[in-house]
Structure 1
Amino acid sequence: MSVFFAHFAFAQMALCFILLLPLLKKSLSIKMFALLMLCGCGYLLSDLFGPLNKMSIVWWAGYLSGNSLPGVFWLVSLSVFSDREELKGWHFYVASMTLLIPTISTLIQLGFNFDLRQFTAFYGLATYGALGLELVLIGHALVVVIKNWQADLVQERRYMRGSVIGLIACYLVVVIVVEQLFNLQWSWLNMVKYVLLTMLTIAVNLLLFSLKEGTLFDPPVKKPQNILHKKAHSPELNRVLECMLNEKLYRQEGITISVFSRHLGIHEYKLRQIINGELNYRNFNDFLNFYRIQEVTENLSQSAHQQLPVLTLALDSGFRSLSSFNKAFKNKHGITPTEYRNQQALTN
């Protein structure tokens, strides 16, 4: 029976990968998720084809895929849930460590034909270091989910993303702890593992392909409305705009949509609909950054603020760090704040 569920889970992941193939060019998050499904298929190879020779191609495919899973999952979480987080080279380097550490260890054993367990320190570092890194990356993926949960303004997408990432994370943790950390070999565990994997893959496919486009992977983003000159204001939207323009609530450090909702006296669900539906913002932080960038842009243009450091202007407008400000500013203007200030100084 466990073999049946293993085949079924394999088929579900292979189906997901095939359905994602035409969409690969749309975004990096789709590429990463397709790679995750491909690694999942590889992870099951040894169970589908029985005990394999360690030097066979199929065994290596399964071994490399299984060790890649935690790192690829971490990259998926960053690319899917951190809407404005661009994957950098060091992200891929860290993710590759879950594969490189055990692979190097295995190659040493195969190449020199001896048991690394004789070298306790090296064996412990290679084995438990890799396991520790895998658990840290999965834990960080969950932190990314929680951190970006409130800022996402599309409720259906929030629950979809949280469910997919959360379920996969829990499954990986259980498998790592049971199979690798404690090395439990009870026969019924395989049945439980494959049943859970089957349920997970079915749920992922149903959520991924039965909901509207953009629920998990972002579609092309509509340009946000010009909220300073939007004419047909609803009473609630008027209150939102007044709070931003007059009270400058965006300056408040650590402001969340829950805090904003209580301040306005508007239910959080309704406030999400206003900012997303009427203004086309999909992320609350992008909405706040519109005002923050606007304020800093005006200050950089004024001679009265020429002596103030860019960092001071950024922090005063509500940004928490210079790096996040620089990135948001460059996305808006195409140049750095310092370059913008210099341009304005030449024209004034």
Structure 2
Amino acid sequence: MTSGYLFFSGGACALLLLAATKVSVHHRQLAAGRWLILVLLGVICYLLLPTLPPFSGLGGLLLHLPIILVPAAFWLFTHLLCREEEPFPPWGWLPIGLSIVFSLAANHAPIPLGNKTEAAFFNLSQFTRLGLIGLGMFTLLGQFHSDLVEERRRLRAILLIAVGTYMLIVIGAESLFAYRPVPDGVPTLHALLASLLSLAACLWLLALSPSAIGESLSQPLAEVPLIEEVLPPPPLPSLDEPQQAQLLKLQEHMENGGYRYTGLTIRELADQLGTREHLLRTLINRHLGYRNFNEYLNHFRIDEASARLADPGQAHLPVLSIALDIGYRSLSPFNAAFKRRHNQTPTEYRRDKLPA
């Protein structure tokens, strides 16, 4: 291993360890924080692996396991970061399980495998790992414009551009050079790239935006210390006169049915109110307490739907008609939002409110 690789990979590992320590100190109680720590530790192991003597048996498995889990941990972290109101999809554990099984079979099979079988498992593991990273990047992209937390929007963009792209390049290079010699300079270039990304991440987390992760991750109520339940909520930032006027205008617009526009975006709402998008984001997030624009719209839409489903005079209307009237494109997102509010489907709710 060249001295250039040792120098740059060592620097990257030190920086990543510093970032992992910060996340561990402040966010290890959150599931998202723990998945992020696993991602960082997996990258550290990946960079250290070429510098260490070959390990076999349990030692090799323990060293490879964090690396194997990186794509799955990346997707799980992005889901908790971006879809905090939605449970992780049960089907997601299937590709995660397949990725782990294929990777273990390719590198740590308990019985000797032929070259063709080993190559097949390797290719399958690379395919599933790429798929998991792609799902993580898709999650970062999904509902990006609906995110009202400015720090989280920046974090999503950084993860999408830097981390996701880096992982795709690494796995693509692994597949490309799996059966051919690695050109001179490629390992050093890889270590240099990892070092620069790690330096940028540490500068951002520790100096430029030290509260970014804390503001991006919402803490579940079950994990809030009980003593905090008796404390009053922190006071909201005071509004100046233009902001108060804008808030009043927003409330009047929504009470008059502004939320019923199908596919309404925050940019369109800002245009309707004659204000700037970033000012409206701040108003809804910091002064009304919503972290996602769709969550804000659902507050009004589900209120109206609940009233109409409980109205005997509208008992003849199909649930789909109500969903479309209040701004949903289809029944599926309406059902999901309604069930999050009432722990019942719209049909079950109507049946309880309007017994035969």
Under a length normalisation based on structure 2, what TM-score does the superposition of the two structures give? 0.82
Q: Indicate yes or no: 2:45 matched with 1:48.
A: no
* Residue identity opposite 1:342 in structure 2: R
The answer to whether the 8 Å contact 2:9/2:47 transfers is: yes
1:234 corresponds to: 244
Partner of 2:225: none
Matched ranges for 1:239-278 at <5 A:
239-246=249-256, 248-278=257-287
Identify if the C-alpha distance between structure 1 residues 299 and 56 changes in structure 2 by more than 3 Å, giving closer, same or farther. same
Change (3 A) 1:32 1:267: same
Structure 2 distance, partners of 1:35, 1:312, is 46
Higher relative contact order (CA 8 A, sep 6+): 2
Percent pairwise identity? 29
1:74-118 deviation digits (Å, cap 9, x = unpaired)? 22222212232321433233223222113223444x613x4332x
The C-alpha deviation readout for 1:106-139, integer Å capped at 9, x for no partner, is: 444x613x4332x5xx844x33333233223323
RMSD after superposition: 2.9
Asked if 1:205 is matched to 2:202, the reply is yes
Written as runs of structure 1 = structure 2, the 5 A alignment for 1:281-296 is 281-296=290-305
Asked whether 1:189 is paired with 2:186, we answer yes
Return structure 1 stretches of 4+ with deviation > 6 angstroms: 220-223
- Show the 5 A alignment for 1:1-348: 1-23=4-26, 26-49=29-52, 51-53=53-55, 55-108=56-109, 111-112=111-112, 114-117=113-116, 123-124=119-120, 126-183=121-178, 185-209=182-206, 210-212=209-211, 214-219=214-219, 234-246=244-256, 248-346=257-355
Provide the rounded CA distance (Å) in 2 between the counterparts of 1:79 and 1:303.
40
Q: For structure 2, which runs of at least 5 residues remain unmatched after alignment? A: 222-231, 236-241
Question: Could you tell me how far apart the structure 1 residues matched to 2:273 and 2:68 are?
Answer: 49
Contact 1:151/1:285 (<8 A) preserved:
yes
TM-superposed deviation, 1:169: 0.7
Q: Is contact 1:153–1:276 with CA below 8 Å preserved after alignment?
A: yes
CA distance, structure 2, for counterparts of residue 270 and residue 24 of structure 1: 29
Aligned length in residues? 331
- Are residues 150 and 141 of structure 1, via their aligned partners in 2, closer, same or farther at CA, if it must alter by over 3 Å? same
Give 2:54's aligned amino acid. Answer: L
Stretch moving more, 258-267 or 60-69: 60-69
Question: Is the contact between residue 38 and residue 66 of structure 2 (CA under 8 Å) also seen in structure 1?
Answer: no
Aligned-residue offset at 1:219: 4.6
Q: In the TM superposition, what is the alpha-carbon distance from 1:176 to its structure 2 partner? A: 1.2
